């Protein structure tokens, strides 16, 4: 069915099928976002020259990775910026890293930015850690993952609009970026090398070789329903070292009573 502006409408049945598929495979709950799906999928349906979502599902069911990636690239919300929710970065600098210096004889520190989008969160963490350790030799690694391949292409290129950088201290802008044609800045190769980007669906089983010291999963679970969030929190718990931290978005919560995490302060949790 077509709307007046040529957009293909989702019937109630199609909406049910599509939202169940998204929830079951990617955790994303768009049950109440019919218009958003129609608007964001419009271009893909036009390119595929299909006349209904039912026809589009037939293509999707062939499970071609490029088809699925195109859909996820359109349906995920990737908004982010450097130094977003800065209290987490203060906590990293003022609490976590000083504690690591005292207790971590191996001088290895690992971070996971889960749902990293275009990389600003992971790169901000890299700058905080670099600045903290300065010339002291620490081996820190940052893994950054997302299901949007398009967002991660942006992360790997690491060319940012000045608006995404407006919360960064000017001294870091000078130290870690090179000005390109206005309004863009390129991140230094050194900081780029601190972060490894991988496509990863948080609904899949976690099979990391080593546990992490710190996991960021901020502004990702807002798109998931409660049972999906609860399961994911449990998986994060097992993916952390004892004493490791989980940061979630400031508008998100972990249900007390159902998690083994210790609540430290809003949006900050510790294992043990």
- Measured from the CB atom, the residue of 59 and 203 that comes closer to ligand SAM is 203
- 146 binding ligand SAM? (CB under 6 A): yes
Q: Give just the sign of the alpha carbon dihedral 241, 245, 251, 255.
A: positive
- Contact criterion met (CB below 8 Å) for 82 and 117: no
Residue among 102, 104, 19 nearest 53 (CA) = 19
Binds ligand SAM by CB under 6 A, chosen from 44, 50, 68, 203: 203
Verify binding: residue 147, ligand SAM, rule CB under 6 A. yes
d(CA 187, CA 175): 10
Which of 52, 77, 149, 259 is in the footprint of ligand SAM by CB under 6 A?
A: 77
- Quick count: other Cβ atoms within 10 Å of Cβ 84? 18
CB of 208 to ligand SAM, least distance (A): 14
Positions 151 through 170 that interact with ligand SAM (CB under 6 A): 151
Segment 106-145, which members bind ligand SAM (CB under 6 A)?
115-117, 121
- Spatial contact of 83 and 168, defined as CB atoms under 8 Å apart: yes
Residue 49 beta carbon to ligand SAM: minimum distance, rounded to whole angstroms: 27
> To the nearest whole angstrom, how small is the minimum distance from the Cβ of residue 107 to ligand SAM?
27
**Rounded least distance, CB 236 to ligand SAM, Å:** 13
Which tokens hold the place of 137? Answer: 């030799």
Closer residue to ligand SAM in complex, CB, 8/89: 89
What number of other Cβ atoms are within 10 A of residue 49's Cβ? 7
d(CA 87, CA 245): 14
> Strands 184-187 and 212-217: what pairing?
unpaired
Is 92 an interacting residue with respect to ligand SAM (CB under 6 A)? no
Regarding 20 and contact with ligand SAM (CB under 6 A), the answer is: no
Which DSSP category does 204 fall into?
A: S
Q: Which of residues 205-234 bind ligand SAM (CB under 6 A)?
A: 218-220, 223
Residues making contact with ligand SAM (CB under 6 A): 26-28, 76-80, 84, 115-117, 121, 146-148, 151, 201-203, 218-220, 223, 249
């Amino acid at each position: 069915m077509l709307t007046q502006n040529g957009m293909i409408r989702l019937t109630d049945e199609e909406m049910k099928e599509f939202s169940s598929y998204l929830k079951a495979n990617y955790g994303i709950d768009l049950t109440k976002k019919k218009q958003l799906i129609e608007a964001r999928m419009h271009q893909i349906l036009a390119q595929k020259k299909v006349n209904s979502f039912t026809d589009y599902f037939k293509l999707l069911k062939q499970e071609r990775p490029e088809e699925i990636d195109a859909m996820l690239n359109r349906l995920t919300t990737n908004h982010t910026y450097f130094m977003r929710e800065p209290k987490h970065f203060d906590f990293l600098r003022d609490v976590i890293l000083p504690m690591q210096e005292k207790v971590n004889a191996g001088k290895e520190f690992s971070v996971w930015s889960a749902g990293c989008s275009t990389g600003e969160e992971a790169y901000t963490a890299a700058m905080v850690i670099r600045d903290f350790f300065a010339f002291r030799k620490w081996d820190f690694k940052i893994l950054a993952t997302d299901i949007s391949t398009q967002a991660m292409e942006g992360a790997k290129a690491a060319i940012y609009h000045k608006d995404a950088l407006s919360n960064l201290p000017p001294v870091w802008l000078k130290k870690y970026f090179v000005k390109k044609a206005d309004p863009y800045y390129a991140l230094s190769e050194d900081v780029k090398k601190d972060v490894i980007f991988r496509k990863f669906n948080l609904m899949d089983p976690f099979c990391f070789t080593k546990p992490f010291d710190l996991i960021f999963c901020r502004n990702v679970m807002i798109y998931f329903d409660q049972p999906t969030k609860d399961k994911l929190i449990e998986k994060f718990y097992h993916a952390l070292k004892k004493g490791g931290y989980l940061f979630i978005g400031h508008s998100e919560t972990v249900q007390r009573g159902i998690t083994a995490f210790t609540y430290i302060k809003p949006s900050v949790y510790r294992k043990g």
